[in-house]
Structure 1
């Protein structure tokens, strides 16, 4: 870990130098100047006393003026060095490191890592810790420079009295006891982590408007407050169990330092009284030794910052190694581009896939051919594997057994970025982008949105029409330029309105090979649903003619799937039926049963 830690710190400091060379150089130079001033102050004190003792009033006066200037410079350099360091850490740490973490997360083309608790746990730890990570590199560098200051201070003490060099082991004691204290604090932090997460989750539920509706209806607010308080108490108790011995270790270290510090200064004063040291040397020793106590305290603080950051650095290194391993494997893959159009279609050949920790596969031995240009509906109960099937078609997951073939080629052999560029999708868990409406829709095809011209406006207008969102846009205060999100001072939308924007995004690409609509109208009313499906069915037929595109619709509403060319019926991860609506109804199997239930439920309303 130590070598990896030093390597990371070196890279972070190099990043500062590369991105902010002037600020970084200024911060380092001022810190070096601060060390020079520290030594100069001690020497100036001796000069003032010695000149005054020798009766050289003018020389003593000038030495005193120089000492006053050095004291002012000492305060100025310390403050300037601190501010420069904070500025560099903010400008580099809060942008480049955070962006790097997000790039490592998003550059992996599958979603397996985003469903892995181990991966997500580490992302949670490093999220919001970029300041601490970057500052730890500067803390490590400053710890080395502060150690140099301590060495120079001890050298000056040795010139006053060799006995004062014994302050070195005294100064090392707080560093050693602080390391022992950190070990107790780390264990208690890990012990409290589960309750801290629970406390935060309960706090978010109590303060967010979404869960707030249910909490007020059920009257569970006070019970949740009690659970939150209990979790907070357990977490606090765990932290205190570590804080008490940690404080005892730190107190012991500083008591030992103070005892040695007081004893050695008393020895120096006795030497001055007996004539074995000049008054200037005695004052020099007292001045440097007093400053040394502050230096030891600041060195302990910065070394603690550097060492304590291991809690967030270890997860960062793990994430980077994970992403680097993926990139190394990806570099060995031979990927071909997606076809220009589909002629044969998409085939699932004995596809099996299961999520980590699940008792059974989400999909189990699914085999079916989806002809080019067809509209396919996927139906089944919750948990039957519908969304998993969609994820495999989009290459978000790779089959654990079997193959997903596009034009006879295993989808794993097609460049995922190229396949995604030929895919349009509206998912049930759609994004809510706190941007303008225009930008939110244009995200559906960045190649068109990069132009920022008439072609983009036409594409956005076409997408709005496809999603039946014209009336929604017309009612917004600034139309397409309306900023979204009440939390950011914009306009808040209903769930159905957000979903219409997601549907518009899915209409931005003009020539997809795969169009996925995963519960695309779950938040819409029946008239809106009917209008949108009519438009999307028309668009699906147009795409079938131009690119041979396959349209996949996942829906619980059977009225929307009856017009599909092919209906896939999933049950507990298995494909139990496949065929057009009329054929499946005549077969009187599972589809007919589900369709009858749905028909009765609508009739009874």
Structure 2
């Protein structure tokens, strides 16, 4: 609850910063509605009592006041709804959505994108920025509704002190509703993973990329069955919680109905004995009716607040996670202009969040400046994890990575990334850009540098790709957005060209960079990048790291690292490793025989 209050205050502050006039106006409208909830029954009582006394002028004036209050209330209610929606729209669209996206996309590492607890919160918040912003105003509505209930009970107490006891029955539906909403909120979190799975399977079965394989394998029915099963798993949890919540609400309203009937019985009995006037009777009846609507409003607003609490909790969790990540030791030192000694790994280990077995363990090695290093090994041996550590996507769980003797964590991440170039196997596709822009994004300050883009295109052996497009480098990409769709290999060539945009990286990482290319293209590209690595070594002492499962592409590397089960099992040149007759030699021979047979 304390966290929810803090989140509400923060959200109201954000509303004030975004649109102060509308925010102030909303509070004034809430106050006007609060006053009118007491003013109307008082005006009606005055009208009846004045009529029974024969005070016509007073009765007419009180009736006019009642009519005016009704009119103002209707206008204020309409204004309140439209103004509240406007404020929530402004805050969610201009502040919250950009903030959520920024917290996800601008953290230094990518560990959060691989954590199930983080992704569960993201699933809840996907498209729910409006609900987060609404949460603060749901809390304010709940406060004003509680004040309205207090005023109503005071008015009933003026008729008979016994009627104040109705507050006990008014609290029961609120408590029961809170109990029910807590069950629903817990179920939403518990079922988030199953819900995320069914959404992924739905996207998979309806995407063009997977469509061909699904149809050839005739796997559509099975994937649909699994999607339905995941949906059922999520709905069983959620539906069960909603059913129990409904039972709690029924209990609460049944208790209130008993108290409500008892309160009206007390008022009628007092009037029959002459201890209450006709105006008191009308006041009590109208206030009792108002109390019912006030309790209903309180239950609804409390339900909205509790529903929003789930979203606000997820939002606050993400914000605190982002703040914690940014508060961890952040490097401030610039990377060296030129590498002198190279990169050293000292007892480096890494374990993925939630995993019990390390992806890398006790890694000790030195990578000389200006060298070409190949990292090979079977799938799951830790090759890509090593590349991510070098790029500062992960922080080592144990040990240190040093760049010319300086701990990598002490280097400014943005500056280190500015001296890093990389092409990954799971490369990015950037629809709604031209090919020129898609390549130029590899070095954003030089996005418009035509000569640099063309040089990167040549390095990736992508001139034929440019020639095949109707508008060359200025061809829009992405069929979904009205552009030209590329094949897997063409997208990979664009990614390789993007990686070649920077001219002076200290680290040039190629992580399975040609997995989608044919053998001639692969050979041409590696020849070029070997020449590029030599030029890079002369200019900056830069290190080129090639992660590959194709041994024929790494034979010319200065140093070959063989990983197995997260450990460094062999290292040396191609000739040294072949002469040693170990794991590398066996794998190389197996692959060579496979290619010769092919």
Q: Normalising to structure 1: TM-score of the pair?
A: 0.89
Change (3 A) 1:345 1:114: same
- Residue 257 of structure 1 is matched in structure 2 by 256
1:336 and 1:413 in contact (8 A); partners too: yes
Of 563, 569, 576, 2:562 maps to 569
CA distance in 1 between partners of 2:230 and 2:210 (Å):
19
Give the distance between the partners of 2:497 and 2:190, measured in 1 at CA: 47
1:268 Cα shift? Answer: 2.9
Asked if residue 466 in structure 1 is aligned to residue 463 in structure 2, the reply is no
What residue ranges of structure 1 are gaps of 5+ in the alignment? 450-454
Does 1:525 find its partner at 2:523?
no
Residue number in structure 2 paired with 1:556: 549
Residue 376 of structure 1 corresponds to 373
Q: Is the 8 A contact 1:206 1:212 kept in 2?
A: yes
Correspondence for 1:452: none
Structure 2 unaligned blocks of 5 or more: none
**Aligned in 2, Cα 1:476/1:48: closer, same or farther, shift over 3 Å?**
farther
SS at 2:442 equivalent: coil
Paired with 2:355 and 2:258, the residues of 1 have a C-alpha distance of 61
Counterpart Cα distance in 2 of 1:197 and 1:555: 32
**Alignment partners' CA distance in 2, 1:85 and 1:237:** 35
Structure 1 residues 480 and 165: CA distance shift in structure 2, 3 A: farther
Structure 2 CA distance for partners of 1:56 and 1:498, relative to 1, 3 Å: farther
Q: 1:175 to 1:550 in 2, by over 3 A?
A: same
Matched, 1:499 2:492: yes
Shift of 1:386: 1.6
Distance 1:110 1:481 in 2: 33
d(CA) in 2 for partners of 1:275, 1:356: 75
Render the CA deviation track for 1:538-584: whole Å, top value 9, x for unaligned: 33232222212111112223333233333323333333433333444
Aligned to 2:140: 141
* TM score, norm. by length of structure 2: 0.90
The one-character-per-residue Cα deviations of 1:5-46 (angstroms, maximum 9, x if unpaired) are 211211111111112212211222222222233333333333
Output one character per residue of 1:343-399: Cα deviation in whole Å (capped at 9) or x when no partner: 222223343334356565433443333222222222222122221221222122333
Q: Which residue of 2 aligns with 1:323?
A: 322
Between 1:60-69 and 1:150-159, the stretch displaced more is 60-69
Give the Cα–Cα distance (whole angstroms) in 2 for the partners of residues 298 and 447 of structure 1: 55
Aligned to 1:347: 344
- How far is the alpha carbon of 1:66 from its aligned partner? 4.6
Equivalent residue, structure 2, for 1:37 = 36
Q: CA deviation at 1:436?
A: 1.0
| The 10-residue stretch of structure 1 (543-552 or 353-362) with the greater mean CA deviation from structure 2 | 353-362
Contact 1:31 1:78 in 2 (8 A): no
Deviates more, 1:508-517 or 1:89-98: 89-98
What's the counterpart of residue 175 of structure 1? 174
- Contact 1:436/1:480 (8 A) holds in 2: no
**Partners of 1:178 and 1:304 within 8 A in 2:** yes
1:591 aligned residue: 584
Alpha-carbon separation, structure 2, partners of 1:45 and 1:474: 83
Secondary structure in 1 matching 2:328: helix
CA contact (8 A) 1:467 1:503 kept: yes
Aligned partners of 2:356 and 2:141: how far apart in 1? 52
1:17 aligns with 2:16: yes
Q: Does 1:538 align with 2:531?
A: yes
Specify whether residues 357 and 25 from structure 1 end up closer, same or farther in structure 2 by C-alpha distance, changes over 3 A only.
closer
Distance 1:542 1:119 in 2: 42
